[in-house]
Structure 1
Amino acid sequence: MTDHVQGLIAQRPDLPVAAIARKAGVAPSTLKALLSDVQCGPDAARTVSRTTAARLLAVALDGLPHRDRGYGGRSADAAPALRHVRALLTAHPHLSQAALARAAGISLTTLAAALHDVDAGRPRRIQAAAADRLLALGTRTPLPEHATRRGDTVDAQPVADHIRALRVRYDRASTAFIAQVAGVNASTLASALIDHERGGRRGIHTNVARRVLAVRELPPPAFPRRSHVTEIGLLRRLRGLCAAGWTLPAIAQAGATTAKSLTDFTRTGTSTPAVRGAILTAWDRLAHRPGPSAQARRRAAAKAWDPPLAWDEHGIDDPDTIPSGTRMPGRSQHWDPSLLQHELAFFTRHGLSRPECLRRLGLSTMRARQLLYPPPAAPGTPHTTAT
């Protein structure tokens, strides 16, 4: 079926693919997608319904529109008119395609599609009257004047700078997502920014600017950029949350992802931007709160996973760093007064009481007292501290 269509295109290179689709009674986007998949190789080929295939196979070369009979015999080659339009857009940066389309009395979509085809070197025909009106722009027909800014708009530069700063601070912070957080229409915001980049003077609506500038923090799935985060660090964070009593569904919900995505990451060890953001967001929200699942804690303990407080933010992403305040399997901890004081200070900063600290460290109260307050050495006997 696609071979038949490609044969028609080879014999009629002047005819747009959309004309073949219209003749067959199928959507042009469907036919273009089929041809695009064929160019990507046999593995990308897709299937279509029997009705669509039959309609395309029924198209005969003689039944296709003739180049001289387009628009009822009133068509013309679009290249001269569109080259004139492209020259106007280059010479007058304040002009937009929409303004020229309105001045020539044609639709913006028609002008944009014709420009796209002519710029790509593809043949294109448009109505002869429309071509004449486009060629008259700047000669017989005056060009549109500079757009004047409405009274309810402001300069878009502060908004553009603010969005750029948010995208620098956050991963996955698209303009559409920022518009969603701000509660404004994404198309309106994108259109204003595009017009601003082209040097347009339209500005941006005051209410839109106020809402966008009020956005200071972005929620998930956007997350602050952390270039130092490693895959091992993400895995340690995920395991640490499980050790604190959080289940994978709860972690996924806090990070705005799915439990399956987290499971796939634990199996492959390779994170996607979505999983990366989800784990970092869940870590910030849950790391210093005990989870409700005793089963998650038991499973993590059976696998010797270290809890969140065993890591500090500077060492969790370093593969050579060992956790603080936890015993590694098969390795005994050598305690001395300075190390114990360091560990107690670390846990105390996170709100743990002295008994909770000692329980995390695996020390009894008596052993901790012996380390922190050793008995005085006997006269003549060098003082030693058991480790």
Structure 2
Amino acid sequence: MSTRAHGTRNRYVHGPDEHDQPGPCRCTPCRAANAEAQAQYHRVTAQRAWGAAPPAYVDAAPARAHLKMLAKHGIGWKRAAALSGVANGAVSRLLYGLGEQPPSARIRPETEAKILAVQPSLDVLSAKTPVDATGTRRRVQALVALGWSLSELARRIGWIPTNMPTLAHPATTTVQAATARLVRDLYNQLSMHPAPVGGSATRARRMAETKGWLPPLAWDDDLIDLPDADLKTEVERRAADMDDEESSRCWSARYKQGDLSPLIAAGAREHVRRLKQGQAAS
């Protein structure tokens, strides 16, 4: 029994017929489906001739370059094919050609869109791919500020406790993607839960305070992973967009309540800048 359904052009062309015998099917639903497919083809062809519809094929170079970029981040072409939903054969031909044929010069727009949609985000990188350690370091430091000791954090991610301080140290510039995922997931689990009261928690908080490590509430989700230079640029941009009341509240939070959050500190600096600017103008 064929799996091709009645009422489709596929069965109209390839069969089986209405009695499930070899040969094209000419039942009424299949004839109607074929007629509609032909009409749609002619409509789209006419629209493309007038520039009113997207082209049937696009240059393959951008998609090919994107695949090569993904490979540099540890996402091989087979992994990229699986993530994009594009067949392995199509991706292989795009990169390497087939036999003596050169790589594909053109691909369908929908194929390009699927490939370009795959980004080297943390969740899809291979385990050993090196990534910037900034977010991992800040998350570890923030959890220590909540009272979670480095040894307890190490235990929870399956690390040897003596290795854990490297994740919190500024000299660590990269970590493996697998490590970054472990710390991110642990942070999501613990960031709203202070450590149980006790000597270990007290010592952890004291260490964090001494080192100037910020707690989770100091970090917005879209800021915690930004490298220092990018973070400075972004918080200054946001501070510049604040109205006077907002920047004044930031100044109070920074200097009256001791809030060291990057955005609060930037808002406080912006408040002082505006005050000095106003004094100079007067």
Q: TM-score range by the shorter chain?
A: 0.3 to 0.5
Query: Normalising by the residue count of structure 1, what TM-score does the alignment of the two structures yield?
Result: 0.30
Higher RCO (C-alpha under 8 Å, 6+ residues apart): 2
After TM superposition, the score normalised by the length of structure 2 is 0.38
